[in-house]
Each structure stands twice: as C-alpha cells, then as structure tokens.
Amino acid sequence: MRLLIKNVHAVDLDFEKDTDILIQDGKITQIREQIQEEADQIIDGTGLTAMPGLFDMHVHFRDPGQTHKEDILSGCRAALAGGVTGVLCMPNTNPPVDSPEILQYILEKSKSTGVSVYPVACITQGMNGENLTDFADLKSHGAACLSDDGRPVKNAELMRFALEKAKQENILIASHCEDLDIINGGIMHKGDISRQLGVKGMDRASEDSITAREIILASSVSGRIHICHVSTKGSIDIIREAKRLGVQVTCETAPHYFMFTHEKLLEKNANDRMNPPLREESDRIAIEQAVLDGTIDCIVTDHAPHAPEEKANFVHAPNGIVGLEPSFAATLTALYHTGKCSLQKIISLMSAKPREILNLPAVHLREQEKADLILADLNQEWEVIPEKLHSKSQNTAFRNRKLTGKVKYTITDGLIRYCEEN
C-alpha cells in the first residue's frame, strides 16, 4: 500500500515546510517536494497541515464493565476523529484494572482499532487504597503507568511506599489529587456561583493539599510523580516551585480549564460538571500561563463518558465530560489562533511530551519513521454538535461552541483510519 500526500504544509518540532509525503508499508519513505512516484491513493493536501499523531495520556474508555457509556472500540473511533493516535487508558473500570487478565483484555480488544492503547493499572488492589498491586507483574503484562485515578491513595505512607516501589520498577505513578474529606459531597467549585446555586462546593484546598503531599512524598524517595488534570492556581504554584527545586514532577491539564470558569455552571447543565471542577478566572489565567511557560507538560482530555440519562439531573449526575474530538480544535482556538502559542508548542504538549513522560516511542514526521500522523485544516471553523460525536456519550462542555481547526485525516501504520468525508 502506497499513499502519497501532495502539497501539504508539514510541521514537526524541528521543522516547518511545504512538501509531499510518500508512505509505503506503514512507514514514511520520502518527505520532499514534487514526488513523482506512483501510489495506490493520493491525498491532495492543499490547505492542510500534516503533524505527528496526538497522544492523550488521560482517557476513560469504561471497558470493561460500563460499556453503555463507552467501550474501547467507540473510544478509539472518537480518538481518531480528534487526531489522537495514542491514549493512556485509566483503570477505574468495573472490575478495576488490577490483574494481568484485564490488561490482556484491553490490549487484545484494541489491536485492530488503529489507536495505540496503553492501559494504566491500579496502584492498590481493587482501588481500595489498602494493599498495593504487584507492580512488576502488571508492568510485564503491559501496564504503562499506575494510578488509582478517580481517587487518591488516602494513606500517605502507603503512597510513599508505592512511589518508592514504582521507582524500583521504573514505572510512572499518576495521581488524582483530591482530599475526599475536604470535598465531602461537593459537586462544583466552591465559590460565589456554588453559593448562588445553593449547592455544595469543592474547595481548592482539596486539590492543592494532595498535590503538595504527592510532591513531598516523591521527593522523599527521589522518585517521579505525575499530577493529573491540574485546575487551580495553588497547585500550579506548588508544581512550579517543585520543578525549580529539581523534584521529578510532571503534570497535565485539559482545555476546559484554560477556556472556561465556574460561571458556565450558571446554566445548571451537568455536562459542565467534571472533577476537578471549572474554577475561577484567576485559576483559568494561571492554568493558561502555566501551559505557555512550560510548567504544565501536556494537554489531555480526561475523556469521561456518561450516558444522557446519567447526566440528566444537575445535582445528582456523575462528574465527567467527553473531550477527545474537540480537544485539538479547542487548543488551537484558545492558544494558537490567539497568537499565544506556536504550532510546535502544541505538538509538544499534545504529542511529543506525553510520550516522553511515559517512555514511549517518539512519533515524528521523518523518513523511515512509522506513518503516524494527522492532516488538519487549521482554519476551518466548525460547531461541536454532541449528536455527531463518535463517542457513545455526548456529555461535552463544548456543545454548540464554534471552534477553529478541524482534523481531516488520521493515519496510523500507513492506513487512513479516519477521513472526515466518511
């Protein structure tokens, strides 16, 4: 199979140029102007930009156990439609991912999707916070990371021991930083809007305190820690100082945290509720600045599908939103088209850096590299219509919002896995 992309604008971390790209047998064989080789299929790339495939290191595919919300196949379709060619899949399934058998199930089911699915295994058995899993065994069976995402490991000494053990096994721990006692039933950010709506709020201190704890614990064992879905100015300040001091800490955020605030909750739509929640304008500004100055290492979605009936009641609905399809366009809209951020920076945040953090193979637009890339119209405006998303669920905070930048093709292993026309 030979695929030729003509007249495309190619961008990677170290170059930007107009070119043709020839793909054969799953690899990029030529990147140069005026390629005259014959091909089985030709894509006219005029007006399009070629970039390395994106990587989302925080998704929930609900498989096994809650496949009415999402499954591995539907989640991967949504990923491809958003230009995401690799994902890190969180373990709070039913049952949780705490055994080689469940890891094998996920890996087998994802083989034919065209998306590289890397499963996360639990830190503790059953995610109950009491007994550690067998890190070495889980890693040998395909776990790419460890987390009890959805909740922190409550016991600090157990978490310290987990970080020490993870260092020995050379596997990353990712932490959901939230003190559940401080949350105490809160459903949105604690502030003026929660008081106005008469609902229980989630104080910033819940996130900030566990962020600080995890960094202190990681430092005490000279280990690594990854902080999930950062949403507060306080956590950013803590992480920035820890990095300055040489602590091995990385972190992520999602587009909704640098685009929206808790004022969005005035609509009383549960599709604007996620965990951690949308915060205040001072937090939004801090998150955006941390993305731009490098304190935040990568942009993720925390793609968390829920069925419409589960999201029907504002107060009682579970937290979480889907984000795989609008994430790239949202980031372009908020950061690139406003002149705040280069395309190379976005490639780092959404493709290169997450793979680097996880010690996964890099993906680049280079000759003899595997063909893992997207073609996008960076200037196409489109409206996010929930019913048209590829996910089984439609709970997006970007509903009916116009974004600029659209993935037109997603290619992995030299095959067109997604084409907008289909």
CATH of the domain at 121: 3.20.20.140
> For 87-109, what is each residue's pLDDT tens digit?
999 999 999 999 999 999 999 99
C-alpha to C-alpha distances, 141 to 100, 170, 267, 354, nearest whole angstrom: 6, 14, 45, 21
| One domain, residues 114 and 16 | no
| pLDDT at 421 (0 to 100) | 73
Q: What range does the domain containing 284 cover?
A: 53-357
For residue 389, being part of any structural domain is answered with: no
The DSSP output letter for 13 is: T
| One domain, residues 127 and 140 | yes
Split at pLDDT 50, 70, 90, the class of 70 is very high
Q: Cα separation of 409 and 254, whole Å?
A: 23
SS3 370: strand
| One domain, residues 62 and 42 | no
Q: Cα separation of 214 and 212, whole Å?
A: 6
For residue 393, being part of any structural domain is answered with: no
| One domain, residues 178 and 144 | yes
Number of domain units in the chain: 2
Q: Find the angle CA(40)-CA(45)-CA(48) to the nearest 5 degrees.
A: 145
For residue 385, being part of any structural domain is answered with: no
> For 210-221, what is each residue's pLDDT tens digit?
999 999 999 999
Query: Which CATH number goes with the domain that contains 16?
Result: 2.30.40.10
Given the structure tokens 């119209």, which residue do they identify? 377
| One domain, residues 30 and 113 | no
Using the predicted structure, report yes or no on whether residue 52 has a pLDDT greater than 70: yes
Read off the tokens for 400. 């009916």
> For 398-407, what is each residue's pLDDT tens digit?
999 999 999 9
| One domain, residues 255 and 314 | yes
With beta carbons less than 8 A apart as the criterion, state whether 79 and 85 touch: yes
| One domain, residues 38 and 166 | no
**Residue range 67-75: average pLDDT?**
98
Active site (catalytic) residues: 302
For residue 227, being part of any structural domain is answered with: yes
The mean of the pLDDT values for the chain is 97
For residue 391, being part of any structural domain is answered with: no
| One domain, residues 142 and 24 | no
Among 360, 273, 365, which Cα is nearest to 88's? 360
For residue 319, being part of any structural domain is answered with: yes
Using the predicted structure, report yes or no on whether residue 422 has a pLDDT greater than 60: no
| One domain, residues 46 and 66 | no
Phi, psi of 245 (to 5 degrees): -85, -5
For residue 311, being part of any structural domain is answered with: yes
| One domain, residues 196 and 167 | yes
| One domain, residues 25 and 169 | no
* pTM over cut 0.85: yes
| One domain, residues 292 and 279 | yes
SS3 342: coil
Q: Cα separation of 73 and 94, whole Å?
A: 17
Strands 373-383 and 49-52: antiparallel
Phi, psi of 33 (to 5 degrees): -75, 150
Q: Cα separation of 375 and 19, whole Å?
A: 13
> For 178-199, what is each residue's pLDDT tens digit?
999 999 999 999 999 999 999 9
